[in-house]
Amino acid sequence: MIVSFLKENPEYVTYLIVYLIVINIVGFLAMLIDKRKAEKGRWRIKEGTLFIITLLGGGVGTIAGMYTFRHKTKKLKFTVGLPTILIVEIVLVVYLLMKY
């Protein structure tokens, strides 16, 4: 359904690409901000928020931020969870592209 909509309305592909760039920048910056807050002992970004950003398509950004800033890399739910979400999203997109 989404794939056929995008085929019929190619101008929305640009919006989708811009969205993915923005959400990945948000994910990268969220990791940076949370790392800085952790270093200063301040209130942090909730872990659930970081996962939501990933679920919304920001997986590349959050994972890049995690390893760039060495933040949350000792937490199994992040080192396994974030890549798992990203892989599932990629598989889903590939499946939808091949189906339609």
Taking only the tens place, the pLDDT of each residue in 27-55 is 999 999 999 999 999 999 999 999 999 99
Centroid of chain to Cα 91 = 15
Of 1, 28, 2, residue with least CA distance to 15: 2
| Single pTM value for the model | 0.90
Is the separation of the CB atoms in 82 and 54 below 8 Å? yes
- pLDDT tens-place string over residues 55-66: 999 999 999 999
Q: CB-based contacts of 70: which residues, under 8 Å, 6+ apart? A: 35
Higher pLDDT, 6 or 59: 59
The pLDDT assigned to 10 comes to 87
Of 69, 72, 63, 56, residue with least CA distance to 22: 56
Q: Which two tokens stand for residue 10?
A: 């190619």
Question: How far apart (Å, rounded) are the C-alpha atoms in residues 92 and 11?
Answer: 22
CA distances from 32 to 69, 85, 95 (A): 7, 20, 33
